[in-house]
């Protein structure tokens, strides 16, 4: 597996502001993903973070709202822009392709927008 | 639309009994199957992976795969209160993306 460090672990933000979440992996990985998980719900994929190119977004998620960077094979950021209370959720960084197709997760960021 | 279906539960099992968790998937071409455990407030952790038909055992956990029936299950023997969590079934799509079930909440009663 890999050690995945995600920060911040939690934050309370004012509506209209932006928050950037960082994900650092202790080894180079092929795939990095960003998920959102609402309380009591399963995982919803936001986007695949592509190294050196624009992220690939899933239906319902757009770059202006969730800009993603991946400058190298060990690091990625997700920004939640112009936040509203509906953005309150847990955001998870995930990596894949380490040993096979399984996914490993960071500790998650619990975001509350007030 | 590729889907993974799980009963949301909660599934309540007495301590020491066998807990049986089930998952069905829609894409007959799927090749890799995973069970994750998620404690409340924590991120999912991988507990089992299975790739071929049959059973795979790891300690108290057994994963079962039946590709003909498009069915994956997880058995937990000698259930402990510490097994109380939500169990997520995931199936590989492509490019290392996983399709996730909604999860089954398991409660082990002392």
% of chain B exceeding 70 in pLDDT: 98
Residue B95 reports pLDDT greater than 70: no
Q: Do B43 and A105 touch (CB under 8 A)?
A: yes
Cα A63 to Cα A110: distance, rounded to the nearest angstrom: 21
Cα B30 to Cα B10: distance, rounded to the nearest angstrom: 27
Q: Do B100 and A43 touch (CB under 8 A)?
A: yes
Cα A85 to Cα A69: distance, rounded to the nearest angstrom: 24
CB B35 within 8 A of CB B74: yes
In this predicted model, what pLDDT tens digit does every residue of B10-56 receive, in sequence order? 999 999 999 999 999 999 989 899 999 999 999 999 999 999 999 99
Half-sphere exposure of B94 (CA within 13 A, CB side): 3
In this predicted model, what pLDDT tens digit does every residue of A35-92 receive, in sequence order? 999 988 889 999 999 888 899 999 999 999 999 999 999 999 999 999 999 999 999 9
**Closest Cβ–Cβ partner in A1, A31, A108 for B96:** A31
Q: Do B88 and A96 touch (CB under 8 A)?
A: no
């Amino acid at each position: 597996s890999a050690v995945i460090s995600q920060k911040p672990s939690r934050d309370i933000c004012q509506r209209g502001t932006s928050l950037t979440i960082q994900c650092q992996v202790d080894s180079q990985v092929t795939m990095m993903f960003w998920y959102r998980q609402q309380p009591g719900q399963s995982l919803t994929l936001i986007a695949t973070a592509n190294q050196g190119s624009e992220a690939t977004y899933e239906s319902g998620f757009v770059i202006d709202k969730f800009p993603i960077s991946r400058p190298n094979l060990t690091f990625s950021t997700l920004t939640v822009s112009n936040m509203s209370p509906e953005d309150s959720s847990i955001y998870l960084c995930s990596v894949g392709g380490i040993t096979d197709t399984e996914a490993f997760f960071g500790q998650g960021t619990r975001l509350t927008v007030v | 639309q590729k889907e993974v279906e799980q009963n949301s539960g909660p599934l309540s099992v007495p301590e020491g009994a066998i807990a049986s968790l089930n998952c069905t998937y829609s894409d007959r071409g799927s090749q890799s199957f995973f069970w994750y455990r998620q404690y409340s407030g924590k991120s999912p952790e991988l507990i089992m992976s299975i790739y071929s038909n049959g059973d795979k055992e790891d300690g108290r956990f057994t994963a079962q795969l039946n590709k003909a029936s498009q069915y994956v299950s997880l058995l937990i023997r000698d259930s402990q209160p510490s097994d109380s969590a939500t169990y997520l079934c995931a199936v590989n799509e492509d490019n290392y993306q996983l399709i996730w079930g909604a999860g089954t909440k398991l409660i082990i009663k002392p």
